[in-house]
């Protein structure tokens, strides 16, 4: 008997079932998702930290169900998301006899999901993969929507594909073992949805005294993840290849990706960088008249109150602006920025002056430490 998904992401060429695992037994991942796909082999891709916590149990479950499993364990960290590591993973697939009937199981956070999905998309011109995100960031964002890829030098996700998974299995119980810093950092992506697409979610988050208040609230986290996945599913299904509406999901990412590169992908986690990027976007929108001044102030205050406060010392606005030229959303003189114009509302501008971007960057970087949580 086929187990029905909780949500279907419908694209013109395929449908991606999404399963929310809360209340389900772990073995249902095999019964509901993997068994119907009937793979001849499974490549379980994870990183060392996640595999130590969750991988052994999943590996044993798959073997007990009769599957042939090859395990590929990666080093944690953004540095792993590289063409060189992708080639090594593809080599491991080949050595373990993966065929076009095989399945890649991506167990981990955004780095694992992006890398495993990318290799699945190019190995033998594409084999199936399933996303099993274990971090809040991956559950609300990177595992959903079919964008996979690796970094090229300092350019984030410069090599990539739109390649949809065969299924997505979202189990918020994994969040109980997530390091506190990773949980907090992921709220940059959560607030992105609230500020641009989901006014109800914004109201819930704006009422929180701090992120720590819901860190261990399983019911809140389950609802939070479901709402974020639903919003991203709506946007991605309407605009799979990011030609129009899907660009809203880049709110905070233009400056955020530049910040990650400036910190060599070690100084700032992705969620922290996105949070700073959202502050830059709202300050820029206020200066351009795209965002009401009162809302710009209120939204920035909400971001600062809820999210970690990374130190921005030593960063240069000119260098960040130069890094933005590598952003995929910028083409020649076209500088695309996304703004929040109210709770759950957004505006996309395709031709933002570089001097205005530089001024907003300088303002955020030079903010008075006594008045700002960002420096």
Q: What is the pLDDT of residues 259-305, one digit of tens each?
A: 988 888 888 888 889 999 999 999 999 999 999 999 999 999 999 99
Q: Does residue 231 have an active-site annotation?
A: no
Number of neighbouring beta carbons within 10 Å of residue 15: 11
CATH of residue 194: 1.20.1090.10
Would you say residue 232 lies in a domain?
A: no
CATH of residue 92: 3.40.50.1970
Q: Does residue 189 have an active-site annotation?
A: yes
Which position among 189, 260, 272, 283 bears the catalytic label?
189
Which position among 242, 260, 272, 283 bears the catalytic label?
242
pLDDT of residue 334: 65
The residue from 177, 205, 228 where one domain ends is 177
Q: Does residue 67 have an active-site annotation?
A: no
What is the DSSP pairing of strand 128-133 with strand 103-108? Answer: parallel
**Is 162 in the same domain as 189?**
no
Which position among 147, 247, 329, 346 bears the catalytic label?
147
**Is 197 in the same domain as 314?**
yes
Would you say residue 227 lies in a domain?
A: no
**Is 189 in the same domain as 208?**
yes
SS (H, E, C) 216-266: CCHHHHHHHHHHHHHHHHHHHHHCCCCCCHHHHHHCCHHHHHHHHHHCCCC
Q: Does residue 250 have an active-site annotation?
A: yes
Which position among 81, 156, 226, 270 bears the catalytic label?
270
- The number of residues in the chain equals 375
Would you say residue 258 lies in a domain?
A: yes
**Is 347 in the same domain as 300?**
yes
DSSP labels, 111-166: HHHHHHHHHHHHGGG--EEEEEE-SHHIIIIITSSSEEEEEETTEEEEEEEE---S
**Is 13 in the same domain as 150?**
yes
Q: Does residue 79 have an active-site annotation?
A: no
Q: Which of 248, 38, 48 is nearest to 141 (CA)?
A: 248
**Is 199 in the same domain as 149?**
no
Which position among 41, 246, 247, 346 bears the catalytic label?
246
| pTM reported for the whole predicted model | 0.90
pLDDT of residue 332: 58
The residue from 125, 158, 177 where one domain ends is 177
**Is 16 in the same domain as 137?**
yes
**Is 116 in the same domain as 254?**
no
**Is 51 in the same domain as 101?**
yes
Would you say residue 372 lies in a domain?
A: no
Q: Does residue 49 have an active-site annotation?
A: no
Number of neighbouring beta carbons within 10 Å of residue 159: 16
**Is 150 in the same domain as 249?**
no
Per the structure, the complete domain to which residue 66 belongs is given by 7-177
Q: Does residue 242 have an active-site annotation?
A: yes
Taking phi over 0 as left and psi of -120 to 50 as alpha, with beta for the rest, 145 belongs to: left
Which position among 41, 184, 192, 253 bears the catalytic label?
253
The number of domains in the chain is 2
pLDDT-flagged residues of the chain (< 50): 368-375
The residue from 161, 177, 193 where one domain ends is 177
Which position among 54, 192, 226, 232 bears the catalytic label?
232
Would you say residue 292 lies in a domain?
A: yes
Q: Does residue 54 have an active-site annotation?
A: no
Would you say residue 210 lies in a domain?
A: yes
Strands (E), 269-359: 337-342, 345-349
Which position among 257, 286, 329, 346 bears the catalytic label?
257
**Is 152 in the same domain as 201?**
no
pLDDT of residue 2: 73
Distance CA 59, CA 70 (A): 9
pLDDT of residue 200: 97
Would you say residue 224 lies in a domain?
A: no
Would you say residue 212 lies in a domain?
A: yes
With H, G, I as helix, E, B as strand and everything else as coil, classify residue 91: helix
**Is 29 in the same domain as 96?**
yes
Q: Does residue 346 have an active-site annotation?
A: no
Q: Does residue 253 have an active-site annotation?
A: yes
pLDDT of residue 242: 85
């Amino acid at each position: 008997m086929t187990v029905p998904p909780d949500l279907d992401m419908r694209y013109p060429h395929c449908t991606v079932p999404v399963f929310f695992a809360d209340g389900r037994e772990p073995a249902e991942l095999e019964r509901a998702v993997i068994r119907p796909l009937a793979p001849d082999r499974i490549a379980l891709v994870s990183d060392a930290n996640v595999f130590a916590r969750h991988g052994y149990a999943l590996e044993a479950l798959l073997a007990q169900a009769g599957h042939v499993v090859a395990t590929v364990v990666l080093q944690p960290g953004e540095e792993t998301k590289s063409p060189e590591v992708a080639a090594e993973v593809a080599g491991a697939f080949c050595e373990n006899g993966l065929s076009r009937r095989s399945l890649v199981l991506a167990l981990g956070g955004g780095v694992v999901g992006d890398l495993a999905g990318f290799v699945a998309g190019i190995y033998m011109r594409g084999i199936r993969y399933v996303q099993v995100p274990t971090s809040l960031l991956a559950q609300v964002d990177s595992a959903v929507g079919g964008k996979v890829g690796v970094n090229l030098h300092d350019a984030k996700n410069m090599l990539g594909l739109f390649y949809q998974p065969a299924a997505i299995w979202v189990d918020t119980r994994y969040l109980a073992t997530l390091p506190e810093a990773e949980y907090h950092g992921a709220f940059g992506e959560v607030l992105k949805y609230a500020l641009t697409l989901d006014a109800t979610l914004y109201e819930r988050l704006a009422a929180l005294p701090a992120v720590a208040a819901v860190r261990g609230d399983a019911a809140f986290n389950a609802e939070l993840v479901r709402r974020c996945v639903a919003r991203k599913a709506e946007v991605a299904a309407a605009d799979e290849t990011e030609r129009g509406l899907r660009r809203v999901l880049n709110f905070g990412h233009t400056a955020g990706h530049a910040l990650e590169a400036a910190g060599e992908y070690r100084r700032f986690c992705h969620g922290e960088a996105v949070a700073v990027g959202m502050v830059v976007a709202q300050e820029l929108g206020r200066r351009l008249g795209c965002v009401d001044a009162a809302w710009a102030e209120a939204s920035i205050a909400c971001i600062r109150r809820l999210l970690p406060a990374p130190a921005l010392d030593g960063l240069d606005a000119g260098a960040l602006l130069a890094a933005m030229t590598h952003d995929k959303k910028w083409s020649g003189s076209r500088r695309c920025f996304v703004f929040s114009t109210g709770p759950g509302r957004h505006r996309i501008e395709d031709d933002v002056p570089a001097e205005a971007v530089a001024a907003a960057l300088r303002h955020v970087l030079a903010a008075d430490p006594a008045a700002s949580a960002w420096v």
